[in-house]
Chain A
């Protein structure tokens, strides 16, 4: 302690004693520090916008006392002349886990899907929230240990204050704010022990509790926590819940959400909107690709500055697995900060994704090279993080009363030849580069003992290098330079023996002449002098090369979505007149030969012969066919989650929360004539999650893909999957079809009780799951139930009838043909596979005649895919109903158009070709039920989303762009830039059996 105390005095000449008066002192007499430190003649930048030339900064006790040009300097001041140098507020990183270890998962801990898993269905704690991943009571301070070594690295990069938190769990508790005042005491540098509340979508490593297994589960959970907190706050809760109490306390703090990607940022913001919380969003660096939507969040962003390394494309085979999207991201990501700032979205930087801190400054320079304004760069490191933290009075700018946290620099920040000399934190000086040391780099003529040497000194004072030549012979030499003392060891020119000349020179800061003494190898002492030579033109040349490089940062344009086959502009509704087509109306008109269709304002405007429209684009459809767009009742494409498998009922989750609009499967489905899909939750649970019904408007945002006023659906499931027949574990109720029935009875009875309470006017706890079940009971939400064997199909109809509602659709329904009569009585539709079977026991009696039998019996019958491959040719799957069971061609086509539209309650908008309906249509090259038919154009709302000719053009431009980016990457590698090995994006085809963890 004593030592620390002494060194403090020596280093800074200051000792802050703030708040310590009442501390006993046993190591000497009290030495209160009331002196001032004054910095004069500096160019001071109190904020990014303001510059004070020849300014004076006065600090005392770790804070700024005065700043300006006409400042009275107190008598008891230590004055530092900073003529020609600059002062800036030091940087703040609002998102780190400085000094806090992220907990590791227990070794051998495995998810519910692994063989032999022993999943923990319930919480491991008592007195807290029912879910272990909700940990708002976590106080980062309890896990914090100041990391002096890491602090040094941060100081070197210019940071003065960090916010840190426990990076673990969905609700992660409070963070703390710490000044990097390594020499100070904890009580001094700890600026706030509860500085913000942190959230994320990822589960805690501490607890094995399985719920939530999915991103949509995490989203639903956060919502439910907020509802529960409100209930708890109203005093109606009988149990103690330390988590919810903490959440209430944390409400007033800044709320920081680690989203980690653009799209997760949108997902977080949507939750915030619902509960009137504006999160500060920790982004993913990919915001640039849909910047208009980023702007609509109104959030302040915290952006990572970890730009991707170029892929190593030198092996052409390996390079092939890199997608155009990933290649583009490499090219475009450095422009992210610039694009975000040009759209006036406030943001701060974070170092948290950097592999090493020393990448910070080079990456920042890169961002500036890619167009980031230097003032904004500075604001994003100072004033904006201070705002995020609600600490603008104390941090981020230089003003009276603020902490004396500032940088002294050689030149303007972010200029190429700038050097940070000193980083002051709370009035303590942390020297980065000695500013008083004279720069002695240059070429010299050296005289030692009548011999003339040529000496070149290069590098910064800390890393000075010497090259010494006698005539043309290079001599080995070593040099050190510190505290204005230069020492030099030169190996003598005599090569037969290792002999050295030793030199020591005290550098005179006011002269370019170096003179000192030299001790020759024989021990004799002589005079050393080195005369500096004037700078040659050659030295300037290297500079101009660098500036040239700055100009060549080329950023390729983004597309919607920003991957291969993305649209340069979003398709718009056109006026199109199709001439002479065979039109499958799906209406009373049947199939019309040689007929015209006019598409206008996104609708089917006219159907008839010899139509005209002055403004229309005319497309000759002679010998071609036009049908309504294909509708897939059962799809799992374009979503980030399929199953929330943590509970046997997951009515609280919705696929609408996790739409993935950048899935190439959307484009490929369009190429197969698909225009609408229902994305269903998987079949892990008897009561699954809510669906999303989409129009496949390739390029639009998640929200714009979802049907306007979408009918509400939920997935139920029966049979082998829900009873976990093929899972790693079998410890969750139900394990039999008998148990499945009881799950429904239980949940619906609970929902009825919930509804009664809600109606009674008594206070009630809002429960998203129960609300959803109530909607089902009230006929406001439709059930699409995954089902195979007749017994369970019959059972669910009886359960529904008992609770006075109807199942809307049985999906899969492979034994529907056995109970088709009962289905008609119940009023349920069937959406089935054409010919899948034999993959599990419950499909042993699945027959390809199923659709035909159900249809003949009067069941509204559809054919679905449940598969991103089959969905590309659903018209052919419908054709199999002609082969198996002899359904008429006209009716068979309805199995994939009008009938799924009916089942989804969107047949008033789509599913047939009728004046006034949405212009969701497909132009086929051939008979639409024939294997030889290709979709030539696919329209949605009158806009062309797939066009065979445009597809051809896209292939060409993809090849060109890949080639261009490959060239750029090779160039980067050859210039010595960092590279990473080729990787391919995650691509997992999912069916309703797919279980997934949160990634």
Chain B
């Protein structure tokens, strides 16, 4: 263990300055090859004793029988992974949850497809930089609240500003499906349990009304309504509609809804009970960004490990599924995304398939698989080297990370404090 410490300390000296926000790395100028490494491709495959070469930010070669060129990094016995992708996050939108002045995740109003997360994304967030030492290098930045919370964008996590950060601008619109059950407001003297939401049908009707209007507007060459205009991409298929729904009936209703409006590109987010409607999901070829693994079962009678194995249930059935981490303390905990995947492996899924849940599958679902998500020739060199299995906190020790071929700093506000106080005590 001392070795690791020494390695990290050494690394530090090379990386140089340690300030609040890490300086974004410079463009890749020379060819780099990583050799001797176990490559986890992100599509279920694994290549032992692999050589991976990247130049100008792109992977140019990968395989076990390739001659390394350029700067060679010996990673014998180590592991290489595509950068993990965290979908449906509020990274960079909120810095300190309890301090309202730092919160930019939820706008007033219910029908806000026109609200765009990207312009509020703080590329210099202290939370964002803390993702990278665990391998999370890409994130979808998603607004919250309302029926339509807004439009998300996808960023890489080493940038000077939001324009720099964008991987895919305005990738999709987010719809929060009406709740089937409402929780009593105990502070209003209501019984605190769940009750059937009596306004569900009414809320659905309002939603349909909005969709009808937006659809009609989308047929015109131009529309004056800003919210309707923001829906255009959803109707022509250039943007994904992310439908956040959890209960079985809500999912079924959402699928019927997608059919009604001939939506080509929908993704379910949450989908706690998606495993109950696998046939419907398959029939409509619907992908799922599943509720975080590290959650408690929603019903008292549920299997204790239901959230742990949920992704396996879907994947085994042939559903395209990836993990997301929204919920309580979501931002800081997004760095635990690899362990969310590891948990699924602990509960029966093959480890390489579990890896797909945060890499290859996510990229396909978010429509960024042409450039990221797997270690394949032609894709961005957004990847990292870990001393051990990166899905297990016991062995997730990241040595080097690259975003588009740029070797990024693995330091953070947190490592800085660690060094400062370790030094204070002479540890």
Binding site for B on A (CB under 8 A): 105, 110-111, 113-114, 317-318, 320-321, 323-325, 563-564, 664-665, 667-668, 671, 720, 725-726, 817-818, 820-821, 835-841, 844-845, 847-849, 853, 856-857, 868-870, 872-873, 876, 879-880, 882-889, 926-927, 929-934, 951, 955, 958, 962, 981-989, 996-997, 999
Interface SS, A side: loop
Does A981 contact B187, Cβ atoms closer than 8 Å? Answer: no
Q: Are B187 and A110 in contact (CB under 8 A)?
A: yes
| Interface contact A725-B394, CB-CB below 8 Å | no
Chain A contacts for B393, CB-based, 8 A? 876, 879-880, 882-883, 931
B346 close to A934 (CB less than 8 A): yes
Identify the interface centre among B196, B296, B342, B394: most chain A CB within 10 Å of its CB: B394
Name the B residues within 8 Å of A848 (CB-CB): 414
Across-interface contacts of B397 in A (CB, < 8 A): 883
Q: State how many angstroms separate the Cβ of A921 from the closest Cβ of chain B.
A: 19
B294-A320 in contact (CB<8A): no
- Alpha-carbon separation in the docked complex, A836 to B332 (Å): 7
Is B394 touching A951 in the complex (CB atoms < 8 A)?
Answer: no
Give the docked Cα–Cα distance between A521 and B125 (Å): 96
Most buried by B among A835, A889, A988: A835
Contacts of B294 in A (CB 8 A): 869-870, 873
Interface residues of B in 175-191 (CB under 8 A from A): 180-181, 184, 186-187, 189, 191
8 closest Cβ contacts across the A-B interface?
A: A984-B194, A840-B98, A317-B249, A849-B418, A931-B342, A986-B192, A564-B301, A886-B1
CA distance A958 to B343 in the complex (A): 25
Whether A836 lies near B295 (C-beta < 8 A) is no
A988 to B189, CA, bound (A): 15
CB-CB contacts below 8 Å: B404-427 with A: 414-415, 417-418, 421-422, 425, 427
- Interface size on B (CB < 8 Å)? 62
Is A847 a contact partner of B346 (Cβ separation < 8 A)? no
Q: Which residues of the partner chain A approach B352 to less than 8 Å between Cβ atoms?
A: none
User: Using Cβ atoms and an 8 Å threshold, which residues of chain B touch A987?
Assistant: 193-194, 300
A933 to B392, CA, bound (A): 10
B-side residues, CB < 8 A to A, are 1-2, 4-5, 95-99, 126-127, 180-181, 184, 186-187, 189, 191-196, 247-249, 294-297, 299-301, 303-305, 329, 331-333, 335-336, 339, 342-343, 345-347, 391-394, 396-397, 414-415, 417-418, 421-422, 425, 427
Q: How far is the CB of B318 from chain A (nearest CB, A)?
A: 24
Tell me how far the C-beta of B90 lies from the nearest C-beta in chain A, rounded to whole angstroms.
11
**Cβ-defined contact, B2 with A983, below 8 A:** no
**Residues in chain A near residue B186, CB distance under 8 A:** 988, 996-997, 999
Which of chain B's residues has its CB closest to A112's CB?
B187
> B residues within 8 A CB of A989?
296
Once the chains bind, are B296 and A868 in contact (CB under 8 Å)?
A: yes
Q: With A and B bound together, what is the CA distance between A742 and B393 in angstroms?
A: 43
Residues of A within 8 A of B97 (CB): 838-840
21 contacts between A and B (CB under 8 A): A323-B299, A667-B304, A668-B304, A671-B305, A820-B425, A835-B335, A837-B332, A837-B414, A839-B97, A844-B126, A847-B417, A849-B414, A873-B294, A886-B4, A931-B391, A931-B392, A983-B193, A986-B184, A986-B192, A989-B296, A999-B191
B300 contact from A564, A817, A847, A887, Cβ within 8 A:
A564
A840 close to B427 (CB less than 8 A): no
Q: Point out the residues of chain B lying under 8 angstroms from A111, CB to CB.
A: 187
Give the residue of B187, B193, B305, B418 whose beta carbon is less than 8 angstroms from that of A985. Answer: B193
Residues of chain A lying within 8 A (CB to CB) of residue B342: 931-932
Q: Are B96 and A105 in contact (CB under 8 A)?
A: no
CA distance in complex: A886, B8 (Å):
11
Contacts of A844 in B (CB 8 A): 96, 126
Complexed CA–CA distance, A840 and B2 (Å): 33
- A201 shortest CB reach to chain B, Å: 16
Least CB distance from A707 to B in Å reads 25
Q: B127: which A residues are within 8 A, CB to CB?
A: 838
Bound: A325/B300 CA distance, A: 9
Q: Is the CB of A857 within 8 A of B394?
A: no
Contacts A840-B96, A873-B294 given; does A817 touch B421 at CB 8 Å: yes
Contact between B96 and A841, CB atoms less than 8 A apart: yes
Q: Contact between A930 and B196 (Cβ–Cβ < 8 Å)?
A: no
- Measured between C-beta atoms, what is the minimum distance from B337 to chain A in Å? 13
A112 to B248 CA separation, bound complex (whole angstroms): 37
A853 contacts B394, C-beta separation under 8 Å: no
A260 to chain B, nearest CB (A): 13
Q: What is the distance, in angstroms, from A505's C-beta to the closest C-beta of chain B?
A: 53
In the complex, besides A840-B99, A844-B96, A853-B427, 11 extra interface pairs with C-beta distance below 8 angstroms are: A820-B425, A835-B336, A838-B95, A841-B99, A844-B126, A879-B393, A887-B1, A888-B1, A929-B394, A934-B347, A986-B184
A317 proximity list for chain B (CB < 8 A): 180, 247-249
* Known A317-B180, A951-B304: A886·B296 in contact at CB below 8 Å: no
Q: Chain A residue with minimal CB distance to B252?
A: A317
> Which residues from chain A contact B195 at a C-beta distance below 8 Å?
981, 983-984
A323 to B193, CA, bound (A): 12
- Which residues from chain B contact A962 at a C-beta distance below 8 Å? 301
A930 touches B392 (CB 8 A): yes
Closest to A925 in B: B346
Cα A316 to Cα B196 in complex, Å, equals: 13
Task: Check B331–A838 contact: CB distance below 8 A.
Answer: yes
Which residue in B187, B194, B301 is a CB contact (below 8 Å) of A958? B301
Minimum CB–CB distance for B27 against chain A, Å: 30
Within the assembled complex, what's the spacing in Å between the Cα atoms of A185 and B421?
Answer: 84
